[in-house]
Amino acid sequence: MNSYILKNDDDERKVLLYKEKTGYSFSPKNGYKRVKKITVLDKGMVSSILEDKVIKAYNRLIKVIYSLITAGDETTSGDVLMAYTELDRIRNILLYKYHEYLKKEFIEKYMKKLYILELELKKVHVMELTDEIEEERGKSR
């Protein structure tokens, strides 16, 4: 197996072996046949890659919560639980998985945003529960 260090710098720097440095590794999409794994050593590049991943996950969560809010009476407990699970997953990624790569300001900013989304999700959940209680009361005779 061959290992390559790709760099796009004109100035000379000492290059350590990539095994001695810690970096972020990932597998590319299926379109690349010969590349099995990519390891990024530059901290700024790693930070920007992971910030993009967190932002994409956050935007997906916003779309899910927006669809729950606009659905109105059609929301179920399962949908709300799925949104809570996704919110908790993003929070754990920020706090535990990527905390050493991301900037503290970025983490704090998105933790505040997640807290606000959690409050909105609780409102949706309460509305959904009151609708279920009203349905049960209406059916009893």
Q: pTM here?
A: 0.74
In total, the chain counts a number of residues equal to 141
* 117-140 confidence digits (pLDDT tens): 999 888 877 776 676 666 666 655
Q: How far apart are CA 125 and CA 107, in angstroms?
A: 26
Q: Work out whether the CA dihedral 91, 96, 99, 104 comes out positive or negative.
A: positive
* 69-88 confidence digits (pLDDT tens): 887 667 777 888 888 999 99
